[in-house]
Amino acid sequence: MVDQQLLIDEVKKVVSRDDVKYVIGYKKGTSGFAISPAFAYSTEYADKFIFNPLCKKNLAAYPLLEDKLPLKREEKEDKRKIGIVAKGCDTRALVQIIQEKGLKREDLVIIGIPCSGIIDHKKITAKFPNETAYSTIEEEQGFYKITINGKVHEIAKEELLADFCSSCIAPNPVIYDVLIGEEVEPWNLEEHKNLAVLEEKDVGERWEYWKEHFDRCIRCYACREACPLCYCKECMADLLNPQWIRRSVNLSENTAWNIMRAYHLAGRCVGCGECESVCPVNIPLMELNKEIEKDVKKMFEYSAGMDLEEKPLFGTFRPDDPEEFIM
Ligand code: SF4
Ligand code: SF4
Ligand code: SF4
């Protein structure tokens, strides 16, 4: 468990620095089990900061949003650093973005949080459908202790843990300026749910499986908006000239969108599960991401966002690459 006071004290220290403009972290949301991103511009606001097993949001997407806001007339660019609270997958996303030159390491102050897995919001909401507020949530020896209206509920961790956390290769931050608490022991990795079953199917059966899912896609692009690695200034899906994908919501265009997105994330996806968790029609996007991640590892011995010194996978060329895909 992360010591909340230690976290708040550290956020206060960072936000008081002259070279820091604000710190991004988590605070309790307005209802149910929701958690909101929090932006501390002052030490007073830092008191709202929390970290618990509900803090799923990958915050690495936020420093990039700054770039999209145009400056007002006569406003000067504020070049001070951004502080950010980051668990393992958030730091992997930051590393990947820095490798791609989307951000600079020296522009960030990273408050690293060792993570022992987070709760799937869809699972906990299904378990407590009518609850509008919880008081505390703690993890203890394989159980989550959730206090609601004074009553403590003990739920086995595996019942609520987000599926993608079982195959997480970096629960501890891979880069940080300060670490809150002790590193966690990495756990025995499991293959992502359903991958083995899907791999057993033949091509026709797999197509039937994905057809059923892509048919439900409403092209809300929530998956894109939530993903820290979907930060192109202009997304191909929005272009009108040339128009690569039509706006109409049907199986053909939905398939094009989902395949295009999955491939654009090949060798870049850090497995944070944001895309799947925000999908309103429950498309198992992590099955696609994890399958591609597995292929990338097998073919190139590469995992995204693990090493700041490494070049991005598709930014390198090896003269001895066997190029087996060329017929
Ligand atoms: S993917 Fe890893 S770092 Fe990210 S929430 Fe799950 S366990 Fe934590
Ligand atoms: S979040 Fe789900 S429904 Fe929305 S565009 Fe992405 S896959 Fe489709
Ligand atoms: S594709 Fe999904 S899992 Fe991968 S980095 Fe983006 S939001 Fe995270």
SS3 of 249-315: the string is: CCHHHHHHHHHHHHHHCCCCCCCCCHHHHHCCCCCCHHHHHHHHHHHHHHHHCCCCCCCCCCCCHHH
Could you give the CA distance from residue 22 to residue 40 in angstroms, rounded to a whole number? 5
Closest ligand 3 atom to 274 CA: 7
Is the Cβ atom of 272 under 6 angstroms away from ligand 1? yes
Using an 8 Å Cβ cutoff, are 114 and 184 in contact? Answer: yes
Residue nearest to atom 1 of ligand 3 (CA): 269
Residue nearest to atom 7 of ligand 2 (CA): 217
Q: How far away, in angstroms, is 169 Cα from ligand 1 center? A: 8
Model-level pTM? Answer: 0.94
Residue nearest to atom 4 of ligand 2 (CA): 220
Is the Cβ atom of 275 under 6 angstroms away from ligand 1? no
Closest ligand 3 atom to 270 CA: 5
pLDDT at position 218 is 97
Using an 8 Å Cβ cutoff, are 135 and 109 in contact? Answer: no
Closest ligand 1 atom to 117 CA: 7
Closest ligand 2 atom to 218 CA: 3
Query: What end-to-end distance do the CA atoms of the chain give, in Å?
Result: 53
- List, for residues 295-309, the tens digit of each pLDDT value: 999 988 999 999 999
Radius of gyration of the chain (CA): 21
Could you give the CA distance from residue 35 to residue 44 in angstroms, rounded to a whole number? 19
Q: How far away, in angstroms, is 299 Cα from ligand 1 center? A: 24
pLDDT at position 186 is 83
pLDDT at position 322 is 74
- List, for residues 261-274, the tens digit of each pLDDT value: 999 999 999 999 99
pLDDT at position 17 is 98
Q: How far away, in angstroms, is 77 Cα from ligand 3 center? A: 30
Could you give the CA distance from residue 243 to residue 201 in angstroms, rounded to a whole number? 34
User: Which amino acid, residue 163?
Assistant: D
Is the Cβ atom of 272 under 6 angstroms away from ligand 3? yes
User: Which ligand places an atom closest to the C-alpha of 60?
Assistant: 3
User: Which amino acid, residue 259?
Assistant: I
Is the Cβ atom of 219 under 6 angstroms away from ligand 2? yes
Per-residue pLDDT of the chain (327 residues; tens, 9 = 90+): 789 999 999 999 999 999 999 999 999 998 889 999 999 999 999 999 999 999 999 999 999 987 777 788 888 888 999 999 999 999 999 999 999 999 999 999 999 999 999 999 999 999 998 877 888 899 998 999 999 988 999 999 999 999 999 999 999 999 999 999 999 998 888 999 899 999 999 999 999 999 999 999 999 999 999 999 999 988 999 999 889 888 889 999 999 999 999 999 999 999 999 999 999 999 999 999 999 999 999 988 999 999 999 999 988 887 887 777 776
Is the Cβ atom of 279 under 6 angstroms away from ligand 3? no
Residue 224's contacts (CB-CB under 8 Å, 6 or more residues apart) are 230, 235, 237, 261, 275
269: tokens are 């996806």
Burial class (CB in 10 A: 0-12, 13-18, 19+), 129: exposed
Residue 157's contacts (CB-CB under 8 Å, 6 or more residues apart) are 117, 139, 142, 143, 144
User: Which ligand places an atom closest to the C-alpha of 118?
Assistant: 1
Q: How far away, in angstroms, is 162 Cα from ligand 1 center? A: 9
Q: How far away, in angstroms, is 15 Cα from ligand 2 center? A: 36
Which residue shows structure tokens 């936000």? Answer: 15
Is the Cβ atom of 217 under 6 angstroms away from ligand 2? yes
